[in-house]
Structure 1
Amino acid sequence: MPSWASDAIVYHLYPLGLCGAPARNDFQSPPVSRLARLRGWTPHLRALGMNAVYLGPVFESGTHGYDTADYTRVDRRLGTNADLRQWRDELHAAGIRLVVDTVFHHVGRDFWAFQDLRARGEQSRYRDWFAGVDFRQRSPLGDAFAYETWRGHASLVKWNLRNPEVRAYLFGVVEGWISAFGIDGLRLDVAEDMDLDFLRELAAWRHRVKPDLWLLGEAIHGDYRRLVNPQTLDSATNYECYKGLYSSHNDRNYFEIAHSLHRQFGEGGLYKDLSLYAFVDNHDVDRIASTLREPAHLVPLHVLLFGMPGVPSVYYGSEWGLQGRKHGGDDAPLRPALEAPGESPLTSLVARLARIRHATPALRRGSYRQLFVASEQLAFAREHEGQRVLVAVNAAPTPATLSLEAGRPEGSVFVDALDPSASFRVRDGRLPLEGLAPRSGRILVPA
């Protein structure tokens, strides 16, 4: 895991949506520099305390970005390679890393090698570049051959990642991105469905070419250790805690997220040595402001997001409570066009939480230990190199009083980093935490 990634707070952008690109690419129109809109977001990212951007699909594709047609050029609906380089320069000048969405499980039907296969059939030199090509059958879209897809979507053609030519080609793509755009990381789409040997070879290649290139894999199900280990990826999307964060609030049941956090990061936890990618929404799931039944729960939820182990992420617009739900399987409501960033009290809270996390090594790299859990209250300790921080949240509509194991000498004082006017003194080995306000949280650091 690159050291910078352990300290990252990631802002997730979906450029085709945010920049208002047409839903379909005609592959003929001249480039339109819609990426220029992102330059207006850089001051917002700095003010929020973001030090990394995860940029959704940006390379030439037919529709939503995950049906790649050309890995070497920016989608004409967004602009040119020069537009992306210009924004990259601006990000790096602001101390913000760039992670790009990487779709190496499959391509779109407009990808040049698949087009060659359609035109030349069995004579195409690229017939073995794609998985399951079978000229004894026809595809659902009328091709003279069948092929494997991503989960039955005929528009998404699965790579044959065991083919050495394909591996060499894709590694060359990444090397080109490093050279042209100075990328700092890859978010590997549907990594859980990808060939593990390919991921291992990618990781080994990364160590030779750019050792601090962060490899983040999308994983929804299963044991994250299958993907995240010294031989493969650095991190994976923590969907287990994503679900626990919202449903623990909706069900008034902090036992759910407490169980997941202890199972993952507590003493003997499955992932206590991993830095997983933590999030409360993204481009594929309903916005958190639409998911929570009580808007006031956005406060304790974000205290948990920034206080728990992992690499926290914020999806564009959700930091001011933007709403969005899927309609009939349509993801467009989750990926709206926005002219400029918005503001709300939640925006200020996210910025404060980011500043606190940057200033507190125990929150970025510390161990996890549960101290208290009830239906609507949860408290835990994070500790790193002698720094002990206590995180406490109250989701209830009434104040709460907790008494927490302090782990510090008698008389020691903790201050709430979110409200420095509030301090608490250790008595009899415990930290009395009185008046924890409704739908709120505290991050208690040594005075």
Structure 2
Amino acid sequence: MWAYETSFYQIYPLGFCGAPFENDGVLEHRILKVIDWIPHLKKLGVGAVIFNPVFESDTHGYNTRDYKKIDVRLGTNADFKKVCKALHKEKIRVVLDGVFNHAGRGFFGFEDVKEKKWDSPYKDWFNISFDGNSNYNDGFWYEGWEGNYDLVKLNLKNPAVTDYLLESIKFWIDEFGIDGLRLDVAYCVDTDFLRRLRHETTVWKEDFFLMGEMIGGDYNRIMSDELCHSATNYECYKGMFSSFNSMNMFEIVHSLLRQFGPENWTLYKGKHLLSFVDNHDVSRIASTLSRPEHLKLIYTLMFGMPGIPTIYYGSEWGEKADKSQGDPALRPCFDSPAWNELTDVIAALCKAREGSKALSYGGFSSLLLTNRQCIFEREADGDRMIVVINADENSFHADFNARAGRGKDMITGKDIDFGGGLDIPPYTGYLIQV
């Protein structure tokens, strides 16, 4: 699967393009801005873009009105087709955000129910009771996602609903040539629908990638040969920044051993979770970390550990934003991309991942662990990579069995001599090919 060997880039289009929060119905060709960023994506070295919602919605994209029409605030279907074509020309794949658990109050089927009540042919597309009332005084009660009545729960047990959604996805594949889906709140989505989605998309496009959003619990619930290929690794997202902020590398290494370690009982051995240090729902990593010196290190850790590394737009140059400021602050518009020393490191990490069997498919073995340092090994098909993290303000002398005399740091290009141990400067990370 191509996704297992790729570095991803995530864009929240409505914010990225500077669209108004409320759908004002005014057509603006904002999505074409993505084309201007393609040279930046190429320089960074990513191989795929995850687009958060692009389809017509009431406000933030997750309250969909029309699954077959690009949001008027972003442009037209023809505009997005140009974007996808331009990305594909540069061998950058396209993954869309599939919001199938719920729709918006402006969704055409729900609009019909509001107008016709029990006479609507769409009344069974939702979980509705005409014996109650809604917060909006619709004259009927309906289920909203987690009590949010702007997000109308879709009845995925109804074949008419799943047929419509699958027809929409096939339209996206045929019209835009998309390569995969991020499944919003996949932990809420009906398993039978996920199974059918995997089967149908594989028929339509053999290497079509499905990645499900999971916040907690067992990721295997949505991830198997019949369901999603991948799931969001929120356990390690939290473990990474927490380990740096508390100076306790035992936390993240414990999670990685539990998930991918050498023992047979580990939870996700041979599987590929989506790794990230931030996204459109959480604070920017530059705001989360207590020490700015740890920024380069946390990206080195993310690219070095098992998983599919994902970069959230703007964070590659250290943009800051806190969740307490509200979601729009996490999803800003930038006039143009920036580049600095952090971006240099991330670009080197993307390049190191290209063609690396160890980083794409290798297991996880811990070689050295203290509160402030961790060294681990990835190995697959004779390809070996050693990941070194020193989170301390002091240098550290590491004695461990590298099973090699020398190696090359893929970030700086420097030769590494393991003879007599390894002296690691303060706040330093290595990705060593041996």
Instruction: Flag whether TM exceeds 0.5 (same fold).
Output: yes
- How big is each residue's C-alpha offset from its partner over 1:287-342, in whole Å with a ceiling of 9 and x where there is no partner? 000000100000111110110001000000000000001236x2011011111001
Please name the residue that 2:302 is paired with.
Answer: 305
Please name the residue that 1:389 is paired with.
Answer: 385
Per the TM alignment, residue 399 of structure 1 is displaced from its structure 2 partner at its CA by: 0.7
- Partners of 2:284 and 2:320 within 8 A in 1: yes
Please name the residue that 2:210 is paired with.
Answer: 215
Residue type of the alignment partner of 1:413: R
- Residues in 1 aligned to 2:345 and 2:355: alpha-carbon distance in whole angstroms: 15
Residue type of the alignment partner of 2:359: L
- Residues in 2 aligned to 1:295 and 1:415: alpha-carbon distance in whole angstroms: 26
Instruction: Work out which of the residue numbers 312, 316, 340 in structure 1 matches 2:313.
Output: 316
- How big is each residue's C-alpha offset from its partner over 1:93-112, in whole Å with a ceiling of 9 and x where there is no partner? 11100000110000000000
Please name the residue that 2:4 is paired with.
Answer: 6
- How big is each residue's C-alpha offset from its partner over 1:379-425, in whole Å with a ceiling of 9 and x where there is no partner? 111001111211110000011111222235xxx42222223333214
Instruction: Work out which of the residue numbers 394, 399, 417 in structure 1 matches 2:395.
Output: 399
Please name the residue that 1:288 is paired with.
Answer: 285
- Residues in 2 aligned to 1:257 and 1:441: alpha-carbon distance in whole angstroms: 15
Per the TM alignment, residue 77 of structure 1 is displaced from its structure 2 partner at its CA by: 0.3
The 3-state SS of whatever aligns with 1:388 is strand
- How big is each residue's C-alpha offset from its partner over 1:26-79, in whole Å with a ceiling of 9 and x where there is no partner? 33x3x2001121111100000000000001110100100000001111100010
- Residues in 2 aligned to 1:401 and 1:357: alpha-carbon distance in whole angstroms: 27
Q: Percent identical across equivalent pairs?
A: 45
- Residues in 1 aligned to 2:139 and 2:299: alpha-carbon distance in whole angstroms: 52
Please name the residue that 2:51 is paired with.
Answer: 55
Per the TM alignment, residue 264 of structure 1 is displaced from its structure 2 partner at its CA by: 0.4
- Residues in 1 aligned to 2:277 and 2:214: alpha-carbon distance in whole angstroms: 15
Residue 173, structure 1, aligned to residue 171, structure 2: no
- Partners of 2:402 and 2:418 within 8 A in 1: no
TM-score, structure 2 as length reference: 0.98
Per the TM alignment, residue 426 of structure 1 is displaced from its structure 2 partner at its CA by: 5.5
Please name the residue that 2:406 is paired with.
Answer: 413
Residue type of the alignment partner of 1:289: A
Please name the residue that 2:433 is paired with.
Answer: 445
Instruction: Work out which of the residue numbers 261, 274, 279 in structure 2 matches 1:266.
Output: 261
1:113-152 → structure 2 map (5 Å cutoff): 113-131=109-127, 133-152=128-147
- Partners of 1:98 and 1:185 within 8 A in 2: yes
Q: What's the C-alpha RMSD, in Å, of the aligned pairs? A: 1.1
Per the TM alignment, residue 207 of structure 1 is displaced from its structure 2 partner at its CA by: 2.1
TM-score, structure 1 as length reference: 0.95
Structure 2: segments with no counterpart, 5+ residues: none
1:35-184 → structure 2 map (5 Å cutoff): 35-131=31-127, 133-184=128-179
Per the TM alignment, residue 359 of structure 1 is displaced from its structure 2 partner at its CA by: 4.0
- Residues in 1 aligned to 2:30 and 2:349: alpha-carbon distance in whole angstroms: 31
Residue type of the alignment partner of 1:217: G
- Partners of 1:37 and 1:339 within 8 A in 2: no
- How big is each residue's C-alpha offset from its partner over 1:253-294, in whole Å with a ceiling of 9 and x where there is no partner? 101001001000102320111100000000000000000010
Residue type of the alignment partner of 1:129: W
1:236-247 → structure 2 map (5 Å cutoff): 236-247=231-242
- Residues in 2 aligned to 1:52 and 1:210: alpha-carbon distance in whole angstroms: 16
Aligned length: 432
Compared CA separation, residues 55 and 200, structure 1 to 2 (3 A): same
- Residues in 2 aligned to 1:42 and 1:334: alpha-carbon distance in whole angstroms: 22
- Partners of 2:374 and 2:390 within 8 A in 1: yes
- Residues in 2 aligned to 1:437 and 1:406: alpha-carbon distance in whole angstroms: 18
- Residues in 1 aligned to 2:363 and 2:259: alpha-carbon distance in whole angstroms: 11
The 3-state SS of whatever aligns with 2:392 is coil
Residue type of the alignment partner of 2:417: F
- Residues in 2 aligned to 1:272 and 1:362: alpha-carbon distance in whole angstroms: 14
Structure 1: segments with no counterpart, 5+ residues: none
Please name the residue that 2:276 is paired with.
Answer: 279
- Residues in 2 aligned to 1:437 and 1:251: alpha-carbon distance in whole angstroms: 20
Compared CA separation, residues 420 and 343, structure 1 to 2 (3 A): closer
Residue type of the alignment partner of 2:380: H
Residue type of the alignment partner of 2:186: A
- Residues in 2 aligned to 1:420 and 1:174: alpha-carbon distance in whole angstroms: 43
Compared CA separation, residues 360 and 426, structure 1 to 2 (3 A): farther
Residue type of the alignment partner of 2:287: S
Residue type of the alignment partner of 2:406: V
- Residues in 2 aligned to 1:219 and 1:391: alpha-carbon distance in whole angstroms: 27
The 3-state SS of whatever aligns with 1:367 is coil
Residue type of the alignment partner of 1:14: Y
The 3-state SS of whatever aligns with 1:179 is helix
